[in-house]
Amino acid sequence: MTIDARGATAVAIADKVRAGTWLARDVVEHYLDRIARLDGALGCYLLVDADGARRRADAVDAVRKAGRDPGALAGVPLGIKDIFCTRGVETTCASAILRGFKPPYESTATARLAAAGGVMLGKLNMDEFAMGSSNENSSVKPVRNPWSVAHVPGGSSGGSAASVAASLCAGSIGTDTGGSIRQPAALCGVVGVKPTYGLVSRYGVIAFASSLDHPGPFGRTVEDAAALLEAMAGPDPLDATSIPQPVGAYREAARAGRTGATPLAGVRLGVPDEYFQAGMDPEVEAAVRAALDELARAGAKLVKVSLPNTKYAIATYYLICTAEASSNLARYDGVKYGHRAAGVSSLEDLYTKTRGEGFGAEPKRRIMLGAYVLRAGYYEAYYGKALRARRKLADDFSAAFAACDAIVTPTSPVPAFKFGERMGDPLQMYLADVLTVAPNLAGVPAVSQPCGFTKSGLPIGLQTIGPTLGEEICFRVASAYEARTDWHTRRPPEAS
Amino acid sequence: MSRITADEVRELALLARLRLSDDEVARMTGDLGAILEYVDALSALDTNDVEPMTHAVPFDCPERPDETRPSLPLDEALANAPRRDGDFFQVPRIVPGPGGAGGAEDGS
């Protein structure tokens, strides 16, 4: 039996482990060996839990040997963004202020993946507290793009995207507050899914902006991502904002997308002009236009739609997310867990010194901006205004979905940029999210998948946005495109 | 010129319990000024008669039975505390006690 991480999909691994063709333990050893050899150059993992992974794999094999079904993700080696609390395994959000924190409980998302037989390999690098679009804000080390190590992988879930692209796990999970799953998926050439708000529980997910945080999966194929989402999703009594709806048939939707010559017959796909504005890289635009043609050949009808308030999305997003972040990050005070400053003279001194030492530049910037827009006297002009603008942006989607079943756009206006290129100017970094933030504000689902490469070999991403709880149509459209193209079968170069 | 002054940044940092160096204050003043200028574009958007949207999907606060359920064992809840004293998180003295004015932490 030969395990080929670069060729195997997550669902193929699960099938083989369930059938007893492969042992989960052997699969895990294969991936641990790859991480040991290859991750030094990429920086995807903050922590590799090799012994824990072996134990979990052995448990999966034991279940199968006992004649029981080890689950839909049996033996699938998974990478977990370091924002998900994992019981007894250090969880830091890539921040110095949480160094050493070992959560006393497990997030619902990771618990459900494990219950389905998934095997966590370790914790993945990210921008500190999920704040960033390039992974340069990790307090530990940057993640490098497997397609070109001079380029960023995107962010904030850069480790989650790069580890899947480099086959250092068979699937991963991340969080998307303004594009943090889809943008790195686009820049690394993998599939990333931001589900409907509340479809995946936020219990045990370290909070950045609670009304915008969406946990979701990464996979190398649409069906892999669908399989992970099926395992993670569903109501959770531990998260009052989780949606009381049954989990959809996402894998079935993905399979329907590759069935027949015109799997999208009768599907209306909206194309908004506002997502093809000046400033877009011409190679990105050409690739996405070609993808639209391919979707039309798969039977879809392309219709023009308008999302007229798109130009207000970034301003709205940064007002709301910083306000929520400044509240959420108030809990890091040097008392309950994590970093505590030494040699302090008072409680106030303990707070200010601990936080001044423990937070990096971007969390500080967002705490300050959030505190500013929430101040008495400014609240209505900034935060109140943004909440009203958010309603208008959400209404744009409702109106558009009256005329179409899903909306197709580029994920990022540019391919991966170089390290340092945007770090000097926070506003330029914020604008990297210009095509991804609106679905977070509206809470609607969206999928990013590879749709081509630049001449220099960097991946390009295609975004499919669905209406609330429209994950199935997103998977069907994405899968139809995937079945007609081979971008998802390409692999980045690899040192031998 | 800028929407926010260095003094306002210092005051805000105190309210947010963040110690910033002088360099950080200077940089923060410039960064926040540029971002606030950018978000001012929102004032062009007419939001009269628009209800604020506080939640991404329609949401009713769900209720659950008010029942006693197990909580984290004390030792697990305190396991990550940088300093603990018995069953308590330890912080610098807040009010003056018999030992003096209090304040500074011993050790460290």
Q: Chain B residue closest to A373 (CA)?
A: B36
Q: Which amino acid is at A24?
A: A
Rounded to whole angstroms, how far apart are CA atoms A177 and A194?
9
Q: Which of A95, A163, A172, A180 is catalytic?
A: A180
Tally of residues, chain A: 496
Q: Chain B residue closest to A384 (CA)?
A: B52
A313-328 and A361-373 helices, crossing angle to 10°: 100
Closest-CA distance of chain A to residue B48, Å:
9
Q: Chain A partners of B77 at a C-beta cutoff of 8 Å?
A: 104
Coil/strand/helix, residue A462: strand
Q: Chain B partners of A330 at a C-beta cutoff of 8 Å?
A: 17
Contact B82 A340 (CB under 8 A): yes
Mean pLDDT confidence for A86-112: 98
Closest-CA distance of chain B to residue A487, Å:
33
Integer-rounded Cα Rg, in Å, for chain B is: 23
Answer yes or no: A167 catalytic.
no
HEC profile of B10-52: HHHHHHCCCCCCHHHHHHHHHHHHHHHHHHHHHHHCCCCCCCC
The CA–CA distances, whole Å, from A201 to A235, A454, B25, B60 equal: 7, 36, 38, 16
In contact, A480 and A468? CB cutoff 8 Å = no
Contact A364 B82 (CB under 8 A): no
HEC profile of A72-130: CCCCCEEEEECCECECCECCCCCCHHHCCCCCCCCCHHHHHHHHCCCEEEEEECCCHHH
Q: Which of A77, A70, A69 is nearest to A52 (CA)?
A: A77
A24-38 and A50-65 helices, crossing angle to 10°: 160
Lowest mean pLDDT: which of A32-41, A120-129, A278-287, A323-332?
A278-287
Q: What is the pLDDT of residue A424?
A: 85
Instruction: Look at the block and give the residue holding tokens 């799997």.
Output: A263
Rounded to whole angstroms, how far apart are CA atoms A446 and A194?
5
Using pLDDT thresholds of 50, 70 and 90, give the confidence band for residue A38. very high
The CA–CA distances, whole Å, from A170 to A12, A213, A327, B100 equal: 10, 24, 35, 60
Q: Which of A95, A138, A156, A172 is catalytic?
A: A156
Please count the residue pairs, one from chain A and one from chain B, whose beta carbons lie less than 8 angstroms apart.
170
Contact B80 A102 (CB under 8 A): yes
In contact, A130 and A180? CB cutoff 8 Å = yes
Using pLDDT thresholds of 50, 70 and 90, give the confidence band for residue A7. confident
Q: Which of A409, A443, A416, A454 is nearest to A432 (CA)?
A: A416
Helix-then-strand count for chain A, H and E: 17, 11
Residue A186 has pLDDT above 80, yes or no: yes
Contact B92 A350 (CB under 8 A): yes
Per-residue pLDDT tens digits for A292-320: 999 999 999 999 999 999 999 999 999 99
Query: For a pLDDT cut of 70, what percent of chain A falls above it?
Result: 100
Mean pLDDT confidence for A162-186: 98
> In A222-342, which residue ranges form alpha helices assigned H by DSSP?
222-232, 250-256, 282-297, 313-328
Q: What is the pLDDT of residue B99?
A: 59
The CA–CA distances, whole Å, from A283 to A288, A457, A485 equal: 9, 11, 17
Of B12, B51, B82, the CB nearest to A391: B51
Element (H, E) at B85: strand B84-85
CA dihedral sign, ordered B52, B56, B60, B61: negative
Bond from prior residue into A156 cis (ω within 30 degrees of 0): yes
Of B36, B39, B83, the CB nearest to A340: B83
Q: Chain B residue closest to A238 (CA)?
A: B64
Architecture of domain B6-43: Orthogonal Bundle (1.10)
ipTM of the assembly? 0.92
Q: What is the pLDDT of residue A496?
A: 61
Rounded to whole angstroms, how far apart are CA atoms A53 and A292?
41
A321-350 per-residue burial string, b: 16 or more CB within 10 A, e: under 16:
bbbbbbbbbeebbbbebbbbbeebebbebb
DSSP A235: -
Q: Which of A211, A364, A422, A431 to mutate to test the interface with B (most CBs of B within 10 A)?
A: A364
Answer yes or no: A180 catalytic.
yes
Contact A355 B92 (CB under 8 A): no
Mean pLDDT confidence for A428-447: 94
Per-residue pLDDT tens digits for A279-293: 899 999 999 999 999
Question: Phi then psi for A317, rounded to 5 degrees?
Answer: -60, -50
Q: What is the pLDDT of residue A187?
A: 98
CA dihedral sign, ordered A26, A28, A33, A34: positive
CA dihedral sign, ordered B76, B81, B83, B85: negative
Contact B39 A315 (CB under 8 A): yes
Question: Phi then psi for A109, rounded to 5 degrees?
Answer: -60, -45
The CA–CA distances, whole Å, from A433 to A154, A288, A422, B75, B90 equal: 10, 17, 13, 42, 42
Q: What is the pLDDT of residue A395?
A: 97
A50-65 and A10-19 helices, crossing angle to 10°: 50
Q: Which amino acid is at A69?
A: D
Q: What is the largest CA-CA distance in chain A?
A: 73
Of B12, B64, B94, the CB nearest to A368: B12
Residue B79, chain A, CB below 8 Å: the answer is: yes
Of B28, B50, B108, the CB nearest to A365: B28
Per-residue pLDDT tens digits for A345-389: 999 999 999 999 999 999 999 999 999 999 989 999 999 999 999
Contact B39 A318 (CB under 8 A): yes
Contact A334 B12 (CB under 8 A): no
Using pLDDT thresholds of 50, 70 and 90, give the confidence band for residue A146. very high
Answer yes or no: A156 catalytic.
yes
Q: Chain B partners of A375 at a C-beta cutoff of 8 Å?
A: 12
pTM (2 d.p.): 0.97
Mean pLDDT confidence for A248-272: 97
Integer-rounded Cα Rg, in Å, for chain A is: 21
DSSP B89: E
Q: What are the structural domains of chain A?
A: 10-308+396-489 (3.90.1300.10)
Report the 10 Å Cβ neighbour count for A377. 6
Q: Which of A388, A393, A471 to mutate to test the interface with B (most CBs of B within 10 A)?
A: A388
The CA–CA distances, whole Å, from A235 to A107, A257, A393, B38 equal: 14, 26, 26, 38
Report the 10 Å Cβ neighbour count for A37. 13
Residues of chain B scoring pLDDT < 50: 1, 107-108
Q: Chain B partners of A243 at a C-beta cutoff of 8 Å?
A: 57
Of A241, A309, A384, the CB nearest to B45: A309
Q: What is the pLDDT of residue B57?
A: 82
